[in-house]
Amino acid sequence: MKIFLDNQLVDAEDAKISVFDHGLLYGDGVFEGIRLYDSCIFKLDEHLIRLEQSAKALMLNIPMSRVALANAIIDTCKANNLTNGYIRLVVTRGVGNLGLSIKNCNNPKVIIIADAIQLYPKEYYENGLKIITVPTRRNNPSALPPMVKSLNYLNNILAKIEAQSLGYEEAIMLNDQGFVAECTGDNIFLVKDGMLYTPKIASGSLKGITRQVVLDISQDLSIKYIDTDITRYDTWIADEMFLTGTAAEIIPIVEVDSRVIGNGKPGIITGNFLEVFKSKVREEGTKI
């Protein structure tokens, strides 16, 4: 397996960074997860733009242009003979002194990993996923804007640990006001009385690429959507519910906090979204 590091492709066992890299020491860096479908990289430009915006928010200079990054991603996929899979693009602050100051971090690192991935088993897409709400709250947007995809994921990891310790694969995270923010790695959508609802970005949810694709699909399907404050009660009485994410794609939810959603099976509207999504990923990709 080949990894892109220091402007070259190296064997995985040789892909090493310093223990003084602030990405390791402090989670100081940004990343993107990108999907590859039948040799087409889905929404590559959108991911690279979001990476640039995350980096700008952290005052982190990406040492490569957008075009150079795109070419490096394509080269990494080709080097690994990958036609379907997952791409992890990482930019770390680079090597610096012990301490929080970034003054001596002069060489940010770009890392690209392209490999196979399957986040959830096939049966979850066919039968739906059961999830719970966990105590760990989403970080307040005034502390760290949720639009920034930083390497510091401890908040989400703690929520994932709580869910898995109780036998669940995914968990809803509330914000500090008690409204639904997102799941540990996915955005949330509800269907109620033919309308689509999703937490607004200000609630603490990531401005997900797949989230936006679903909002675009809603226009194609003539389904009105509202991004608004959502409570736990709203999730319990939803007719349908699904999660979205680059790795997860669109996955139906059939139970929340022991409350059955709808008839306990993946909903028809959810299925319609998934069907359109599957066609889009191959129509709107960047060929490698």
Q: Looking at the structure, do residues 194 and 260 belong to the same domain, yes or no?
A: yes
149 is catalytic: yes
pLDDT at 197 over 80: yes
H-only helix segments in 58-208: 66-79, 122-127, 154-165
Mean pLDDT of 138-166: 92
The answer to whether residues 15 and 97 belong to one domain is yes
Given pLDDT bands bounded at 50, 70 and 90, which one contains residue 147?
A: confident
Mean of the per-residue pLDDT values of the chain: 95
Do 145 and 273 have their domain in common? yes
User: Which of 85, 115, 145 is the last residue in one of the domains?
Assistant: 115
**288 domain-assigned:** no
pLDDT of the residue at 283: 80
Q: 228-262 pLDDT, tens per residue?
A: 999 999 999 999 999 999 999 999 999 999 999 99
pLDDT value of residue 202: 86
**Mode of pairing for the β-strands spanning 195-199 and 225-228:** parallel
Query: What length is written for the chain?
Result: 288
Q: Which residues pair with 78 in a beta bridge?
A: none
Residue 237 lies in a domain: yes
Please indicate whether residue 282 or residue 21 has the higher confidence score (pLDDT): 21
State residue 65's pLDDT score. Answer: 97
What domain range includes position 16?
Answer: 2-115
Report pLDDT for 229: 96
Structure token digits, residue 27: 């989670």
Asked whether residue 93 falls in the same domain as residue 159, the answer is: no
Of 8-12, 20-24, 41-45, 203-207, give the lowest mean pLDDT range.
203-207
Query: Is residue 132 situated within a structural domain?
Result: yes
Confidence of residue 144 (pLDDT cuts 50, 70, 90): confident
Which pLDDT belongs to residue 221? Answer: 95
**Which residues does 104 contact at the CB level (< 8 Å), separation at least 6?**
96, 97
Instruction: Tell me the average pLDDT across 29-56.
Output: 97
The predicted pLDDT at position 130 comes to 97
**Taking 90 as the threshold, does the pLDDT of residue 177 lie above it?**
yes
Residue 23 burial (CB < 10 Å; 0-12/13-18/19+)? buried
Cα 119 from Cα 70, distance rounded (Å): 24
Q: Does 119 score more than 80 pLDDT? A: no
The reported pLDDT for the residue numbered 145 is 86
Catalytic entry in 2, 109, 149, 160: 149
Average pLDDT over residues 168-172: 96
pLDDT class of 143 with cuts at 50, 70, 90: confident
Q: What is the mean pLDDT of residues 64-81?
A: 97
171 exposure class (CB count in 10 Å sphere: 0-12, 13-18, 19+): buried
Q: Residue 15: what are its φ and ψ, rounded to 5°?
A: -85, 95
Q: What is the pLDDT of residue 63?
A: 97
Q: List strand residue ranges (DSSP E) for the chain, in order.
A: 2-5, 8-11, 29-37, 40-42, 85-92, 109-115, 129-133, 171-174, 180-183, 187-192, 195-199, 225-228, 240-245, 249-256, 259-260, 285-287
CATH of the domain at 150: 3.20.10.10
Closest CA to 246 of 15, 10, 26, 51: 51
Does 186 have pLDDT greater than 80? yes
The residue with greater pLDDT, 142 or 58, is 58
Q: At what angle do helices 209-220 and 44-57 cross, to 10 degrees?
A: 130
80 & 141 share domain: no
pLDDT of 284 reads 80
What is the SS3 assignment for 193-222? CCEEEEECHHHCCCCCHHHHHHHHHHHHCC
Which pLDDT does position 269 carry in this prediction?
A: 97
